[in-house]
């Protein structure tokens, strides 16, 4: 299974227990693949850098490096989506469309408002865990 993780889910999975952490654990266990674009990984790194100074006890750079190495990168050139209320969120839709992923996991209200776009479902972390990761 290939999914897109919104930045808030990815970062929450690093810092807190709960559904985002369960999703990252499923990725570590090779139960799913995280699909990324250059824009998404840049946002992950930017947010991680901001949080590193606040939480020096958590080694964020290692996790970013792992997802950079083991995530599946998609070229989104030629895919130009302008559907989200927050234009900064369009990159997740573009990555899903370019990468032929049908799931974005997000806690972002602007993305969640869409519910679905061109065959791509936008799910809250808990919903994703309950529908796809529960055995």
CATH code of residue 65: 3.40.50.1010
Give the pTM.
0.92
Domains of the chain: total: 1
CB 105 within 8 A of CB 120: no
- 120 burial type by CB count under 10 A (0-12 exposed, 13-18 middle, 19+ buried): buried
pLDDT of residue 61: 79
Phi-psi region for residue 100, left (φ > 0), alpha (ψ -120 to 50) or beta?
Answer: left
The Cα 22–Cα 120 span in angstroms is: 21
Digit-by-digit pLDDT tens for the chain (135 residues) are 999 999 999 999 988 889 999 999 999 999 999 999 999 999 999 998 888 788 777 778 788 888 989 999 999 888 878 877 788 899 999 999 999 999 999 999 999 999 898 899 999 999 999 999 986
Q: Quote the domain boundaries for residue 31.
A: 2-133
The Cα 10–Cα 124 span in angstroms is: 12
pLDDT of residue 135: 62
């Amino acid at each position: 299974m290939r999914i897109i993780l919104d930045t808030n889910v990815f970062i929450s999975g690093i810092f807190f227990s709960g559904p985002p952490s369960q999703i990252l654990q499923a990725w570590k266990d090779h139960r799913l693949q995280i699909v990324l674009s250059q824009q998404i990984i840049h946002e992950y790194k930017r947010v991680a850098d901001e949080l590193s100074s606040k939480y020096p006890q958590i080694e964020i750079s290692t996790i970013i490096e792992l997802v950079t190495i083991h995530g599946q990168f998609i070229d989104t050139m030629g895919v130009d989506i302008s559907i989200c209320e927050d234009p900064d969120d369009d990159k997740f839709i573009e990555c899903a469309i370019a990468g032929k992923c049908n799931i974005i996991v997000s806690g972002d209200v602007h993305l969640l408002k869409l519910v679905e776009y061109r065959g791509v479902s936008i799910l809250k972390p808990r919903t994703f865990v309950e529908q796809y990761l529960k055995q």
